[in-house]
Amino acid sequence: WPGPIIDRVEALIRDGWLQQDGPSTLRLGRTLEALETEPLPVPNRARDLLKEALEQLEPAPRTVVHALAVLGGEADPATLAHITEQPSDRVGRAITMLARAGFVVEHTTGIHMLVRVDSKYSASALYDMIPDPERLLLHQRVARALKRGRGRARAGEVAHHLVRGGLYAEALPLLLRAASSHIRGNRSAQASALLDEAEQAQTRGQRDLEPSKRLAFARELALLQADLAEQMGQYEQALDAWQRALTAAETEGNPKAATRAQARLGVLELRSNSAEAVQRLRPVWQSLSRGEPLWPDVTDALATGLLAEGRVHESRTLFQQLHKLGEDVSSLAIRADALYGLATFQLAEETPSKARAALHTAETALRQTARNERWGRAMVHLAELAYARGALIAAAERAGEVARNPSVSAALRIAGRSLLLHCADALGDSSSAVPQSTSLLEDVTTVQASGSRRWALHARAARGLLAIGRPRQAESLLDPDLADVWTGLDENSEPGLSDPPGQIFALRARVTSDVDLASADAWSALGRDLPRFPIPAARIAIDAAHGLVQAADPSAEDAVMEALDRTNRPELGLLRLEAAWLGHSIDLVSDDDLTALTHQVARDSGEQPDLSRRWL
């Protein structure tokens, strides 16, 4: 028995399934998924024996074996007769001969008799031994048989045989149709494999396509690649794919597809550059009529961009128009998006209490319509507002619900976990947050998020870790050398709604041991215009003040005063308490004032939390 095992190991090394590390160590060279799903390589000795056995067969049985291999190792006699273009009686005799020789096994499934390659032979090895011309011909016959057969053949299955039959141009539309179906069904892995195959088919089959079809397929391929990249959260790849789709649509002269590509580019650009997004989206919005399918998404994105740019009245008008459309067409989904947009307007322009009421309404509608990502954002806003006023039970409940929800993005789940750490810290119970901090770090290190979103993920996590006294772990997340993390983070951009660069500068001031660098980063953050959302504005000032107090910088008093000023708003009591606590550490705030503020925040929160353990 050692002989076959050695043969198998040699085959695994030969084909890269195992790789040698030193003279006596082997490691897996392929993924576990491949190990579970793909056929394993056949040892050389077994291949040689199989080749000899095939050569001894007569032409008719050998053709039947070849057809079986092309069909995946199993088929019924009628299909084999059709594919091999041999009479049924001749195929029947060939099957009998093959069964006697041990090549195949006959078995029944219900009323159907099937033939399969015997388990001692490898169907994939048999397939490899089919001469190329015969293999191409068999695949072409299978594809045409599937097309002519009863019922609706699966596009992907037909395309599989067309590609392997060398009919790339014929396979391309079927591959695209199958990929589109998988994208609609959220089957990302299958869609990705089909689109990779479609890209290869497009390259190989270009000469056989009419120019108009070549352009149409190039545009459709890029559109599907962009849709898939968005579905998988790969936003940088999505931007590239939408740009290719736009170019292809413009070359083709397809204004509808070009408008869609422009719209999606604008929506994605909104994540990192609201000015560019508005510039792209405005002409798109002006070209659309209110009844077109794209109008709601473009209106929503344009309104959000205008709000970030400070054009608040235009923004509110667009959100109101979106809400009116939702009412007119009885669409709760459109109304839910509009309600969320109007709530963000309230968050940027009105008091926190008004914003909270609007967010409650939006959250209920978003939950009902399963708008998971928007729902998660609304919940995080509500949790942040609850924390800011000291309602720690409400904050932890909402943050925990987001952190446990697998349907929202990694950045939102991490935001939820980070808020849970803040809640534990506010009660002076950081030790209970250790398991949560471990989960937070695991999420950050395992999640593959793309450029324009990774800064948010790292910033949220770092702030939570700082809250429970983990500065070195936070510092590792804010390392300026992590270039891929900061992709899309423009330090010269306007602050917008939450001022990403300002947040990063302020957080870095808290983790660096270089006092000069801490001072420079802190004042880089404080010297920027305020973001429109009040909590990021307050957080930036508080984080910068932390950094300057730690560095014993002479300007720390000015930073604390700025933090106190930014938190001097209704319902930001707990954030003001943190700023006052920093002021107390440098003798800017008295014992009596800190004690009075601590008790006032507890009373105003509506929950009467015991804040004295942490802040007094």
* Residue where one domain finishes, among candidates 165, 183, 208: 165
91 and 65 co-located in one domain:
yes
The whole-number pLDDT of residue 213 equals 92
Q: Are 299 and 318 in contact (CB under 8 A)?
A: yes
Mean model confidence pLDDT for the chain: 88
pLDDT(507) > 90: yes
| Helix/strand/coil percent split, the chain, to 5 | 70, 5, 25
Residue 579 lies in a domain: yes
CA torsion through residues 498, 502, 505, 510, sign: negative
Work out how many domains the chain is built from and give that number: 3
The whole-number pLDDT of residue 33 equals 67
Residue 70 lies in a domain: yes
Strand 18-20 and strand 26-28: pairing? antiparallel
70 and 30 co-located in one domain:
no
Q: Per-residue pLDDT averaged across 237-266, rounded?
A: 93
The whole-number pLDDT of residue 326 equals 96
The whole-number pLDDT of residue 587 equals 96
The whole-number pLDDT of residue 485 equals 66
22 and 118 co-located in one domain:
no
Residue 66 lies in a domain: yes
DSSP-based three-state secondary structure for 106: strand
The verdict on pTM exceeding 0.85 is no
Q: How far apart, in whole angstroms, are the C-alpha atoms of residue 432 and residue 310?
A: 41
The whole-number pLDDT of residue 2 equals 56
Q: Which domain holds residue 29?
A: 2-37
Q: How far apart, in whole angstroms, are the C-alpha atoms of residue 462 and residue 479?
A: 11
Angle 187-192-198 from CA coordinates, rounded to 5°: 125
Q: Per-residue pLDDT averaged across 98-104, rounded?
A: 84
Q: How far apart, in whole angstroms, are the C-alpha atoms of residue 327 and residue 204?
A: 50
Strands (E), 80-208: 104-109, 112-117
Least-confidence region, from 5-14, 126-135, 213-222, 477-486: 5-14
Residue 551 lies in a domain: yes
List phi, psi (to 5°) of 517.
-65, -40
The whole-number pLDDT of residue 3 equals 60
**Selected residue with higher pLDDT from 414 and 480:** 414
541 and 594 co-located in one domain:
yes
The whole-number pLDDT of residue 57 equals 82
Residue 437 lies in a domain: no
Q: How far apart, in whole angstroms, are the C-alpha atoms of residue 157 and residue 520?
A: 61
The whole-number pLDDT of residue 1 equals 45
Confidence bin at 492 (pLDDT 50/70/90) = confident
Q: How far apart, in whole angstroms, are the C-alpha atoms of residue 87 and residue 82?
A: 8
Residue 299 lies in a domain: no
List phi, psi (to 5°) of 113.
-95, 130
502 and 605 co-located in one domain:
yes
Q: Per-residue pLDDT averaged across 320-343, rounded?
A: 96
How confident is the model over 372-394, as pLDDT tens digits? 999 999 999 999 999 999 999 99
Confidence bin at 446 (pLDDT 50/70/90) = low
pLDDT(107) > 90: no
Q: Per-residue pLDDT averaged across 120-128, rounded?
A: 76
DSSP 38: S
List phi, psi (to 5°) of 109.
-125, 105
Confidence bin at 151 (pLDDT 50/70/90) = very low
Q: Are 296 and 303 in contact (CB under 8 A)?
A: no
Length of the chain: 616
Residue 161 lies in a domain: yes
Residue 332 lies in a domain: no
Q: How far apart, in whole angstroms, are the C-alpha atoms of residue 288 and residue 271?
A: 23
15 and 119 co-located in one domain:
no
How confident is the model over 289-310, as pLDDT tens digits? 998 999 999 999 999 999 988 8
Cβ neighbours of residue 602 closer than 8 Å, sequence gap 6 or more = 390, 608, 609, 610, 611
List phi, psi (to 5°) of 536.
-60, -40
**Selected residue with higher pLDDT from 561 and 413:** 561
How confident is the model over 343-352, as pLDDT tens digits? 999 999 988 9
Q: How far apart, in whole angstroms, are the C-alpha atoms of residue 532 and residue 347?
A: 8
